[in-house]
Amino acid sequence: MAMAFKVSPTIFFPIFFIIISVFISFSKAQKVPAIYVFGDSLLDVGNNNYLTISVAKANFPHNGIDFPTKKATGRFCNGKNAADFLAEKVWLPTSPPYLSLVSKSTKKKGSFNAGVSFASGGAGIFNGTDDELRQSIPLTKQVGYYSQVCADLQQQLGTQAAQDHLSKSLHVVLIGSNDIFGYLDSSSTQTQYTPEQYVDLMVSTLKQHLQRIHSLGARKFVLLGTGPTYGIFRNIEQNPSSYGFNETKAACCGLGYLNAKAPCLPVSSYCPNRRDHVFWDFYHPTEATHRILVEHCFQGSTYTVPMNVEELVSL
């Protein structure tokens, strides 16, 4: 199937999930060999643990309190996040943090075969988005790491086999919230760009990154819209009981009013009823919310265009 696509700022951000399959056709029985993940703290599974001076970390309590190991892993969540649940949907283990693989003294052959996560808390589409957080992996660098992974796969599998592997794999991208926060916090940037101009620049820059990922062999993309202000989040806020939530405003873990005056820290208070809360801390959803997001992404139709992930996988 061939599909040409053009991302428009008027439709890109209000849509929560955009699923794209480009220049590829597979049988219904085709399985997903791997998931390659690009993004920010909503998908980070531990890359920032390996960034020495980064302050955007979640490898301490009370993060991870509901994770299977009951320990903080670097996920900005009480338990699993969307990257975990999406992997479960296609019967794969969670794609490990890229930095956890390359920082080992002896990297195993085949360590990239089941997928890799490049997602990093604080990352943005633009370089420098993380200036206040001191250190993260911006999208430019994430794509650079992906290029290295592709080269490694070609050496290991051979060029044709590596291309076949990459074309069948899912490439998940969720990024942009930190760029928007950066714009709202910067009077100089607001002077330089109108909101519309800034979003246009975000979209054009993201498009360049996606084109490079595509040029390296990716064919199946799952693009998730930015921030908890559209689609399913709005639906949850308006109809919390239908999703099993009782609290849509206050964070579960934090300090101050609505637990939103400070991040989730070891000294923070946290709620005993995490399943009732939409938000874990002042920025990030709870495990329960992540699960719902993936359900909509994988099998839903309301927030997915032009198809859901289950349909994409079957191509």
Inside any domain, residue 10? no
Best CA proximity match to 289, nearest among 299, 279, 281: 279
Q: Is residue 19 part of a domain?
A: no
Q: In terms of pLDDT, which residue wins out, 6 or 31?
A: 31
Residue 92, in any domain of the structure: yes
Domain hosting residue 255, numbered range: 30-314
Helix, coil or strand: residue 20 = strand
Residue 21 lies in a domain: no
Per-residue pLDDT, averaged over 127-150, amounts to 86
Q: 7-11, 117-121, 200-204: which range is least confident on average? A: 7-11
Decide if 107 contacts 101 (C-beta within 8 A).
Answer: yes
Q: Which amino acid does the sequence have at 311?
A: E
Count of other CB atoms within 10 angstroms of residue 135 = 17
- Tell me the percentage of the chain whose pLDDT exceeds 90: 77
Residue 72 within any structural domain of the chain: yes
Which pLDDT belongs to residue 24? Answer: 43
Catalytic choice (21, 40, 41, 169): 41
Summarize pLDDT for 209-225 with one digit per residue, the tens. 999 999 999 999 999 98
Considering the domain boundaries, does residue 106 fall inside one? yes
Query: So what's the pLDDT on residue 230?
Result: 67
In the chain, what is the straight-line distance between the N-terminal and C-terminal CA atoms, in Å?
A: 9
The answer to whether position 17 is within a domain reads no
What's the CATH number where 242 sits?
3.40.50
pLDDT greater than 50 at residue 126: yes
Q: Record the pTM.
A: 0.89
Residue 3 clears pLDDT 50, i.e. is over it: no
The active-site residue, picked from 62, 165, 277, 284, is 284
Q: How many Å apart are CA 22 and CA 75, to the nearest integer?
A: 31
Task: Please state whether the peptide bond connecting residue 306 to the residue before it is cis, i.e. omega within 30 degrees of 0.
Answer: yes
Chain segment 12-37, per-residue pLDDT in tens: 444 455 566 554 443 333 489 999 99
284 classed as catalytic: yes
231 within a domain of the structure (yes/no): yes
Domains held by the chain: number: 1
- Say if CB 45 and CB 83 are below 8 A apart: yes
Q: Catalytic residue among 40, 152, 179, 281, which?
A: 281
| pLDDT score, position 104 | 64
Beta carbons within 8 Å of 183's beta carbon, 6+ residues apart:
189, 190, 193, 195, 198
pLDDT of 68 strictly over 90: yes
**Is 208 buried (19+), middle (13-18) or exposed (0-12) by CB count in 10 A?**
middle
User: In Å, how far from its chain's centre is CA 170?
Assistant: 13
Cis peptide before 296 (omega within 30 of 0): no
